[in-house]
Each structure stands twice: as structure tokens, then as C-alpha cells.
Structure 1
Amino acid sequence: MPVFGASGIKPTGIALSFAADEAESCGEDRFALCLVDAAGAVLASLGPFCEDEVVAIWRDLAARTGLPRMIVREDGVLAVVAAQVGRLMLGKTRIRRRHGSLGDRRPRFLVRRKTGRLPVRPQIHRGENEIIARS
């Protein structure tokens, strides 16, 4: 069993690659996950996995180990998919709440509807038979 970590070779990423031999034997697309070192050499290979589950396993392994996700291109070059420092993913920050739009709103006690009230001097119609005018 190979030793990884402080006493052995340190992996620098988890690479997703196409497993051509397994794909030809079963007739479906198969993928392998490889632990790679700084030089790009494969330390260990996991798989083959079908295309439905490989991305979930790849993301889970990268999150648990803190290693960046990589892809092995067709020409054999490793490309980093997402930048990260340990388990922390780097990228664009998302603003979750827009504070500017809250300033234009009315206070809660003014939003509530008031109960209907009669005017100070109600209109009284005397001598009329009907309220609705019919023609």
C-alpha cells in the first residue's frame, strides 16, 4: 500500500481522466480519478466510474482531502478546474442580500392597513328613495 502525506509523496491534486480501456470493454464511457503529484505523475488511480457518478465522487474527494480538482486533457496536460487553498474554495464572492433596496421600503407599522372609519361629518341623503340611480 503506498504511503501519501508527510512521510511519503505528497499529492497535489485529484485529476479526472477518461478511462479508454474500460470504456472499450463495456461499451460505455468510463472515467478514472487519479492522485497526481507536482510533476504530474500519477500516484494512484481510482475507478473506473460511470459518467453519472464520477463528478459527485470527484467533488466529494476534493472537498474531503483539500486537494484541487484537475482534468487530464486529451493531450495529457493537467488543467486546474477550481482554485482553492486547502478546503477553502477561491472565487468570486456572492452578495447574498441587496441592502440598497431595503431603504426604499415603508416601515412595518405603516404598511399595515388601517380599519375603515367614517368621515367627521357623514353625508346623509334625505328624501331619496333609492341610492342607485336607474335610468
Structure 2
Amino acid sequence: MGVFNLPRYRMYWDTRTRIPLIADTMNFNRFSRLRSFVHLVDNTSKDPDNLDRLWKVRPIIDIVQKKTQTISPSEHLSCDEQMVPFTGNLDIKQYIRGKPCPWGIKIFVLCNADGRVLSFEIYQGKKTNMAEE
């Protein structure tokens, strides 16, 4: 849905604007129910240390990181930064002149030669916790 940017969710299943990659995965009613129940963290709780700016979505980030780390690395690796385009309000949003999408969330990514992600770290400014491994 991030690639095929339609103004309404219903349009992904509509016969005139149907996107088979999405519509064939599940029906709209199931998608709506799942979307209404997705909640990552209690909004009334606070980050105890105020160090992790992504504390509300940290559970899902950790799950994705664990899955990417199960991929066996190849002989040739690439470590680079990647910009995830984002124009909304977010305190970790970065501006990097010269990038195709200059506004976004900066992520440091370790990839195989075929482009599969092995590990990543989302940049949060000076407070980014870069694990020394």
C-alpha cells in the first residue's frame, strides 16, 4: 500500500482500481478488522529512560530485526544508510541534501550482495544506541 498510493483503502479492492497483490492476499473486511485491532503499546505508558524515541513501535521493530538476522550472510556485504521517505511530523526526521527523497527517516542497513537486509538500526539523532558487536 505504500507503493501503490491510493487515497482510500477500499480502492485496493474496488474492481476499477484493484491491486491484485493486495486484494488477493485477504478480503477487505478481514483487512479492516485487523487494522482496527492493531495496537503496539499502551498510550498511557511512558518510556522510562526517555532514551528511545521509537519506544511505541519498538516491539514491532525488534520482531523485524530478529527475522532479518536469521538470514545467513553471504561473502560480500554492504553497509549503507537508507532514507525512508517521510514528510509528516516526527522528531527523528532527517534532511539530507542530494538524496532522491531528502526528507525522511534515516536507517543504517547491513545487506547481502543480493540486497536482502541482514540488520538495521534506525537513526534517532545523537541518542541512537549503536550496539558494539
Asked if Structure 1 and Structure 2 have the same fold, meaning a TM-score greater than 0.5 normalized by the shorter chain, the answer is no
Larger Rg: 1
- The TM-score with structure 1 as length reference comes to 0.28
- The TM-score with structure 2 as length reference comes to 0.28
